[in-house]
Structure 1
Amino acid sequence: MGTLTNAIISFLVPLPSILFHLSFVLHHHHHSTTSSPFHQWCLYHPLLLANLLFLLNVDLLFWIIGLLLRNHWMIDLYWTVIPVLLTHYFSTHPMAEADARRSAVAIGLVWAWSARLTHSYFRRERWEWGAREDWRFAEMRTQYGKHWWWLSFFAVYVSQQVFLIGICLPMYAIHSSNKPWDSWDSIATVVCIAGIVIAYFADTQLHNFVQRNETLREQGISVVPNLDKGLWGYSRHPNYFGEQLWWWGLFIFGWNVGRGWMFVGPLTNSLCLVYVTVLVEQRMLKKEYRAETYRQYQKTTSVWIPWIRSAIRGPKEKTI
């Protein structure tokens, strides 16, 4: 399918959840005393309702569209959008209550994070909609063969529900407490901004590196095997580090309003990124032209947290 068709699908696909929520909120404002049992359930269980909408609108609908297109590209794009949708869902829910300053800052930060990641996504995809699916899904498609059609429902979509609802839990916490803004909120804001900025510069440096190598290939010149300049000279995955700073900074907001148990969201995401880091590095080592260079890079450079590069130590000389 063409990029225009994919763009239209992308804009239409979240409408069921958006229209349902708008009708639910309007109905509550006009008929708050005469509500059905289902309306009452939606009113008093905002988190369960969010999961139900995710199950129906993302897990099922995205999965069916992915099967029809034979390409599960859309969940990658919506990683940048769903947190924004969840944030506005929690903030506009009839039972929401929040400190106005904390709510406004958190919503603004989520939009900034989404703009950064959306820009990075489209820049990487050459500004096309649905050009390709995540390489991990492509590998699993080959690995699982004829069983991939039903396994993809769990591997691609249900798993994303666990991650996305989990890491967005602080937005639920922020909009369920009137606790006044304090210094911890300021710290959370600084951590979130630092994460967004680091991830942006890391992604930009990686994009420029890839573009330069493509130019070198076109000119018939040997490519540079590994990026080890800028932030990548201090961390092998500074983009992942920035992303983790962002989610843990958001957690501080939730912890500060008494929802410390919500650490399960960013912790699960961090553990997932550990696994992804292993996959990425294994993939790098499979490419012969860069394998040896990357092994040296692994020996001298921190995995996630930016740190001063260490020297490569040669074998010790024997002394008599």
Structure 2
Amino acid sequence: MAGGNLKNLVVAFLVPLPSILFYLSFVLPGVDDNAISSWCAAHPLLLANILFFLNVNVLFWLVGIILSNHWLIDLYWTVIPVMLLHYYRGHPASEADTLRSAVVVALTWVWSARLTHNYLRREGWEFGKREDWRFNEMRGQYGKTWWWMSFFAVYLSQQVFLIGICLPMYAIHSSNQPWGIWDVVAAATCIAGVVMAHFADTQLHKFVTRNEKLKKLGEPTVPTLEDGLWQYSRHPNYVGEQLWWWGLYLFAWNLGQGWMFVGPLVNSLCLGYVTVLVERRMLKQEHRAEAYKLYQRRTSVWIPWFRKAVPEPKEKET
């Protein structure tokens, strides 16, 4: 167990090195100017997509095939936005308001630290312990073709999502427009999203941990989490995450890049579909199906709101 965890930890640290080293090769002071460096300096967004395709889509996919486990992309969902942010910030073509850039850098690191902590806590502080349950389901659906279908379903699709939702980071470092009131609104929205997601995920972690202890003791488990933020929304962790990304978009909108709404919109639509899959999965579990159906009738699916007064189902007479 310890050996496998160490191996996966080493893999996790090594896989982004090709992109990092290539990036440093043309931004460090003293590096000779050449045709490649000039092209890279002139095309920051295109270069970001090329590096993502080669380093994440191709290399991560090959590692996943070798390990028979596509866990890397889940871990790097919490890291790639930070890498993209510093790529845009340190790029030779970058220009930005100092305060706006500093605020977004600080907020993004906080967001990443929270999400990384939650991921590792959920996985028992093990690297590569398991892959996303949705990948497991797709593995069963595609069968023998999964080895190549995974390239599109797991990796290429992630490029669309991650590059798209991180576009505001590019906008922030492509304009030196002074800090304004809408930047305050954007920052406040981002903070609200991070705080909400933190408390929702912490409440969920405590619920799962408590049920695991009850199960080991042979005692009945609690079928549904209905305390804290979960009494106002069935997916408050998802709502918090979406607030973060839409708050980030507000920075771009304030800079005249309103078209960048496509990133958070596609991500929200995707997460809406994931919500449906999660709820279907809950209803397939016999021990919690009835309780979850009642929870669905009582509780708002996304936007936090007061619970509906729905009577408990009557017990069948024996």
Distance in 2 between the 1:30 and 1:179 partners?
A: 30
| Alignment equivalent of 1:6, drawn from 8, 19, 22 | 8
- In the other structure, the counterpart of 2:23 is 21
Distance in 1 between the 2:106 and 2:302 partners?
A: 26
Taking structure 1 as the reference length, the TM-score comes to 0.95
Distance in 2 between the 1:288 and 1:30 partners?
A: 63
SS at match of 2:28: helix
- In the other structure, the counterpart of 2:34 is 35
Q: Do the aligned residues in 1 keep the contact of 2:107 with 2:191 (CA within 8 Å)?
A: yes
Please state how far the C-alpha of 1:44 moved relative to its aligned partner: 1.4
Deviating runs (4+, > 2 A) in structure 1? 38-41
- In the other structure, the counterpart of 2:316 is none
- In the other structure, the counterpart of 1:129 is 127
- In the other structure, the counterpart of 2:144 is 146
Alignment of 1:123-272 (within 5 A): 123-272=121-270
Please state how far the C-alpha of 1:151 moved relative to its aligned partner: 0.2
Distance in 2 between the 1:200 and 1:179 partners?
A: 32
Distance in 1 between the 2:4 and 2:303 partners?
A: 40
SS at match of 2:126: coil
Distance in 2 between the 1:215 and 1:30 partners?
A: 57
Please state how far the C-alpha of 1:24 moved relative to its aligned partner: 1.1
| Alignment equivalent of 1:295, drawn from 293, 296, 310 | 293
Cα deviation, 1:240-269, whole Å, max 9, x if unaligned, reads 000000000000001111111000000000
Please state how far the C-alpha of 1:176 moved relative to its aligned partner: 0.1
Please state how far the C-alpha of 1:39 moved relative to its aligned partner: 2.5
Taking structure 2 as the reference length, the TM-score comes to 0.96
SS at match of 2:288: helix
Identity %: 68
Letter in 2 for 1:132: R
Distance in 1 between the 2:26 and 2:132 partners?
A: 35
Aligned residues: 311
Q: Do the aligned residues in 1 keep the contact of 2:25 with 2:31 (CA within 8 Å)?
A: no
Letter in 1 for 2:76: Y
Unaligned stretches of 5+ in structure 1?
Answer: 316-320
Alignment of 1:80-159 (within 5 A): 80-159=78-157
- In the other structure, the counterpart of 2:280 is 282
Unaligned stretches of 5+ in structure 2?
Answer: 314-318
Letter in 2 for 1:35: N
Please state how far the C-alpha of 1:313 moved relative to its aligned partner: 5.9
Cα deviation, 1:255-309, whole Å, max 9, x if unaligned, reads 1111110000000000000000000000000000100100010001001111000
Please state how far the C-alpha of 1:314 moved relative to its aligned partner: 8.8
- In the other structure, the counterpart of 1:318 is none
